[in-house]
Structure 1
Amino acid sequence: MKHKLAFLLAVFAATVLLLAVQKPVFLAWYAVGRGFTAADWWQVVRHGLALDMTVAGYVTALPVLVVLLSLWVRLPERPMRWLLTGYFIAVSVVVAAIFAVDLALYEHWGFRVDGTILIYLADPREAMASVDFWLGVRQTLLFALYAAAMGWVYSRVVRLFDGEPLRWRAALPWSAGVLLLAGLDFLAIRGGLGASVANVSKVCFSSEMLLNHAAINPVFSFLSTLGEQTDYAAEYPFFDGRIRAQKFDAVRGNRPGTQPAERLLRTARPNVAVIILESFGRTVMDAETEGEPVMPCMQRLKEQGIWFENFFANSFRTDRGEVAILSGFPAQTRISVMKLPGKSRSLPSMARSLGREGYRTRFVYGGDLNFTDQASYMYATGWQQLFWQKDFDFDTPPADWGYDDRVMCEWFGEQVVRWSAEGEPFLAGLLTLSSHPPFDVPYAKFGDRMFNATAFADECVGRMIERWKASPAWDDLLVVLVADHSVAYPPSLAYNEPLRHRIPMIWTGGALATPPRTVEEYASQIDLCATLLGQLGVPHDDFDYSKDIFDPALPKFAYYTFNDGFGVVDALGRALYDAATGQAAPGSDPRLEETGRTLLQTTYVDIGCR
């Protein structure tokens, strides 16, 4: 039996080792002379092991089944070893081919190979016409050497295979043992026990994207995107290309001829803290239980700062809301661009724009930033430092989604004060999590679990802001409080109703020069980037969809999406459209329906071009 177990362990270990070797080869190809240290190279290999083990898990799956069968049935060793050798030769050829092609393409594409390559292989003659002869020779040699090395290692591993069955009394317990190994293999494939499954964010660890890219396993990158060859531009063909472009020019945020925005700040380059509030719906904010407000801190801050009365989320999911807030990019109906790293990396970004102006950019989350590829998106769009659950070791244990808001707001509050004292301008982001189901919080104020968790988060954020007010950091600080999305409360509220997507946004902080006020203009999360950058005097020409709320020349409306549909609302009306049926809701304003069609189609055309 020891030979059977040794065979399985050797298959997995050998595959991980053979895949890990790709990292130093990639770095030698692209990172030499870039100033990276030996420690950087080691970090690439160490972090990359997560996806190497995922691919190794897939490779090991078939041998696990063969060994399980061999416990009960005699499998002649010579034929089985030939069959296993053929399997591993196929694995070696596929892995070596992907790696050789990826190593050549990265110089031109700037990202690891993915399913996009299949588009260009549709015409082999055209694809080969663009390949330099000596480049082809070099990569063919690399492919042959790597495949041969893998084949040689696997040929040694195959010698460990034992096809002799066990007596049934021994086969039963050992079958349970092999099934346990199969479970561990599945965990490797899945990427662990956490909420996030295997994705490229698992290996991202640096603000230097070359190091993150070096850590990505190209086999995983390719295989995980095979099903993503969607013709996004054809998803919503409402208008022909020329008409759509004309209509978009009328509603775009960065169109020519816009007027200077009203100035709200007393300093040109304040420190900025953007607090993204999990599920802080407007309906919950305004709710009371026996005369007790659910969010007293938000109600108080509303009166003390700049309150945006008609502000809307762009989606019902955190990942889509984050992209809308931080990149000014509209949410999608059936996909999440954050989960498409090859496309999300090219989005404009609040962090990237401020980084160009000398800001330090940091993002904090008490949970797992691997979830929905957040870490990959954050690093790729200019966040220089990420702090999340793996970086903390607090005395209190994490809840289902991570460390609760009390712990994180205390830590983040202290960090903002410390960063302010350093004298270097910064953008700091925080995503809260306690107001997310299952609403497990160390707090007991309301019997309703959602109200209780939201009240807890509200209190934690309020206490953090009071901490800032009492510190020197307040004088030069702009705080933006904005929800990631709304919540289905009350339960009778339809999924597509504007009120369902209405959320709070409050600006506060000592950097504000204006007295408390209410902004009545209609806007949504995608408008935050242009509005904030406009106040800081930072160019935002690359934000096509983001409208400066304080620019009187731009149209004032809020746009949001739901599953296969959209809503648009302004001061004069609303439009709700269901793309699955091709019907607008009764009473929809044709003018706003056209705006929604234009934005939905343009969003998907844009994604298709990235």
Structure 2
Amino acid sequence: MRTTRSAPLRYLLLLISLWLFTFLLTRSVLYFTHLSEAGEYFFSIFTTGLVYDLSFLAYAALPLGLYLLLCPAPLWRTRLHRAVLHAALFTSLFVMLFVAVAEWLFWDEFGVRFNFIAVDYLVYSDEVLNNILESYPIGLILSALALSALVLSLLLREPLRQILDAPLPTWRQRLASLGVLAVLAGVGLLLINQGMPRGQGGNAYARELASNGPYQFFAAFRNNELDYSRFYGSLDEGQSTRLIRSELQEPNARFVDQEPMGIRRQITQAGTPTTPNIVLVTLESLSAKYLGSNGDTRNLTPNLDALRKQSLYFNNFYATGTRTDHGLEAITLSMPPTPGRSIVKRIGRESGFASLGQQLSEVGYDSVFVYGGRGYFDNMNAFFSGNGYRIVDQSSVEEADISFKNAWGMSDEDLYNQAIKLADADHANQVPFLLQLMTTSNHRPYTYPEGRIDIPSGNGRDGAVKYTDYAIGRFLEQARSKPWFDNTLFIFVADHTAGSAGKEDLPVSNYQIPLFIHAPKLIPAREESKLASQIDLAPTLLGLLNMSYTSTFFGRDLMQEDNLPPRVLIGNYQHLGLFDGQDLAILSPRDGLRRHNQALGRSTEVTSDKRDPLIQRAIAYYQVASLGFTHHLLDWQPDASEQTALKN
């Protein structure tokens, strides 16, 4: 047809073909570097990938197609317009190459194509830009990409001249071509619904390899919050209420909530309450696998390995999620991981909960969130200040007190120095303190003060882990000389692991983290093997204080002797899981229900339904948590005396 030979369509097809080739090349490189994980899925990866690529390009090309096909002939033939189209080709080539390199680097860090993390990185551009500048030779990379784009533009100069000299279509042909583009875009939207979360089951690497990075990026804007009742399986209220209360019916708990599916309960301790100081350190990306006491042979954690023998150490402990905000959500609110955006980042709905800090502030503690970076990142300042804490972050620390900082914040040493100052001040005022710290050093670009350890700064994760360990040892050594040390609980726990990607949607072993509770004069050192996760930390801590309180926590006091069924709750932004120590139930969007039998072994995946008791337990936790959040059933109520005890 003559329209296919017209200059506007030929120019558009040239750009689409180049983008399609770039997508194919990116997928091929990722595939052939992951043959051991996804080699057997070659056909499905590349056929499904082609559908994703073409569907994305069909509607991504609409704006340019609209301009090209409506461009008047006199303007099209001007020298300036031809120069603009040459420049557009060069720019497109540069962007294509940039996206390909960015996808490779993102995959290398997270093991997935662009997702909600990439969206967050765009939102918090200051930290991310500085992180990138400190982690990679950006000037060299951009220069190489620009040179490559220029060379390709010169190679395409003659074909482009022929395209621009081609005949222009009539207005009837232009409108017909626009109609075809609109239909193709509509077909693409029907084939791949960007408003729905993508994929479940099977090999997670294969699914990610089949995806289209730019498609994933834009879809993440729409899917960063997922309505549980819309996307996930539910039970009737009566069944969910019975299940969740049976999960939380500890010996010292009495439910006082009249609301269906409410979990508010009175926790009554028999012993005398105490008010020791608490330093709760959340460590960036510290997987349990890095500990020498867990079998690592690189001697990265000598201080933590020694600390393990002197602490109450939990050796069967798991993170709930894959990001810092989900870890903070779990530790602070004792909440299962919410699908999509965590509560920490739900602006306008992040405050007013019965948090750990709020509970302790109510009995006289100075609850302080101490962050090594700038607390506006991930909405942390708003979350903690709205849930019973005061804030100390990098922006509130004098520059003279910061000896080293990178894109994410001050070094762990500087953070611990601030903690000691805060502890000294509260001790002088005879005020018990909760200092909840969040470190930043164990994060790309993995830089830290020189001369501290035998691995030079900026040489990768190993050095960052060893520096993290060094800073902890230095901090405890300084704290031991303080008058408040003997009456202080030091808690060290990771926010998440260093990498959670795997062949499965929720690879359980990749969620294991360490938990240390160190208080030589208060708590005997021993190992605890009870299956547990971050949501169990707050109730366990309050239990160690013999504190009676009204709880909206989904976690359990791990020091209680009970017969409750074991479980940990893990998830990512889309898939939600419950692991019982042997098998894993997974809830996925579109009412997807699966289980992985022998999740820490062969991990056989099977589809399931709501009759499965393990699936029912998982649904109960996540359904009740979602309803509690949306209906304010988990809000802080300082006076619960008017609550009427329920008959159980």
Which TM-score band applies after superposition, normalised by the shorter structure? 0.5 to 0.7
- Measured in 2, the distance between the counterparts of 1:551 and 1:453 equals 36
1:599 partner amino acid:
Y
Q: In structure 1, the residue corresponding to 2:309 is in which secondary structure? A: helix
Structure 1 residues 257-276: aligned runs within 5 Å: 268-276=274-282
- Measured in 2, the distance between the counterparts of 1:259 and 1:360 equals 22
Q: Partner of 1:523 in structure 2? A: 532
For structure 2, the residue ranges without an aligned partner over 5 or more in a row are 1-121, 130-220, 256-265, 600-611, 633-648
Pick closer, same or farther for the CA change 1:465–1:268 going to 2, 3 Å: same
Q: Partner of 2:406 in structure 1? A: 399
- Measured in 2, the distance between the counterparts of 1:278 and 1:246 equals 37
Q: Partner of 2:627 in structure 1? A: 605
Structure 1 residues 95-134: aligned runs within 5 Å: none
Once the two structures are overlaid, the 10-residue window that deviates more, 292-301 or 560-569, is 560-569
What is the deviation of 1:422? Answer: 2.9
1:369 partner amino acid:
G
Question: TM-score if structure 1 supplies the norm length?
Answer: 0.58
Q: Deviations over 1:9-60 (max 9, x none)?
A: xxxxxxxxxxxxxxxxxxxxxxxxxxxxxxxxxxxxxxxxxxxxxxxxxxxx
- Measured in 2, the distance between the counterparts of 1:250 and 1:392 equals 50
Q: Partner of 2:517 in structure 1? A: 507
Percent of pairs identical after alignment? 22
Q: Partner of 2:495 in structure 1? A: 484
Is residue 2:351 matched to residue 1:345?
yes
Is residue 2:343 matched to residue 1:332?
no
- Measured in 1, the distance between the counterparts of 2:455 and 2:249 equals 42
Q: Deviations over 1:417-458 (max 9, x none)?
A: 443233211111111110012212234534861111011011
Q: Please say if residues 277 and 431 of structure 1, whose CA atoms lie closer than 8 Å, have aligned partners that are also in contact.
A: yes
Is residue 2:247 matched to residue 1:247?
no
Pick closer, same or farther for the CA change 1:262–1:472 going to 2, 3 Å: same
- Measured in 1, the distance between the counterparts of 2:589 and 2:472 equals 40
Q: In structure 2, the residue corresponding to 1:396 is in which secondary structure? A: coil
What is the deviation of 1:568? Answer: 2.4
- Measured in 2, the distance between the counterparts of 1:435 and 1:423 equals 34
Match of 1:424 among 416, 424, 431: 431
Match of 2:126 among 174, 177, 194: 194
- Measured in 2, the distance between the counterparts of 1:532 and 1:317 equals 23
What is the deviation of 1:241? Answer: 2.2
1:242 partner amino acid:
G
Match of 2:316 among 310, 318, 331: 310
Q: Partner of 2:440 in structure 1? A: 433
Pick closer, same or farther for the CA change 1:540–1:330 going to 2, 3 Å: farther
- Measured in 1, the distance between the counterparts of 2:222 and 2:509 equals 38
Q: In structure 2, the residue corresponding to 1:427 is in which secondary structure? A: strand
Q: Please say if residues 496 and 576 of structure 1, whose CA atoms lie closer than 8 Å, have aligned partners that are also in contact.
A: no
1:356 partner amino acid:
E
2:551 partner amino acid:
D
For structure 1, the residue ranges without an aligned partner over 5 or more in a row are 1-189, 198-224
What is the deviation of 1:275? Answer: 0.7
CA RMSD of aligned residues (A): 3.3
Q: Please say if residues 309 and 520 of structure 1, whose CA atoms lie closer than 8 Å, have aligned partners that are also in contact.
A: yes
Q: Please say if residues 225 and 340 of structure 2, whose CA atoms lie closer than 8 Å, have aligned partners that are also in contact.
A: no
Q: Partner of 1:557 in structure 2? A: 567
Q: Give the paired residue count.
A: 390
Is residue 2:371 matched to residue 1:362?
no
Q: Deviations over 1:140-193 (max 9, x none)?
A: xxxxxxxxxxxxxxxxxxxxxxxxxxxxxxxxxxxxxxxxxxxxxxxxxx9996
What is the deviation of 1:519? Answer: 1.1
Pick closer, same or farther for the CA change 1:549–1:397 going to 2, 3 Å: closer
Is residue 2:483 matched to residue 1:461?
no
Q: In structure 2, the residue corresponding to 1:521 is in which secondary structure? A: coil
- Measured in 2, the distance between the counterparts of 1:353 and 1:298 equals 29
What is the deviation of 1:294? Answer: 1.5
- Measured in 2, the distance between the counterparts of 1:527 and 1:238 equals 24
What is the deviation of 1:608? Answer: 2.2
Q: Partner of 1:237 in structure 2? A: 233
Question: TM-score if structure 2 supplies the norm length?
Answer: 0.55
- Measured in 2, the distance between the counterparts of 1:348 and 1:377 equals 12
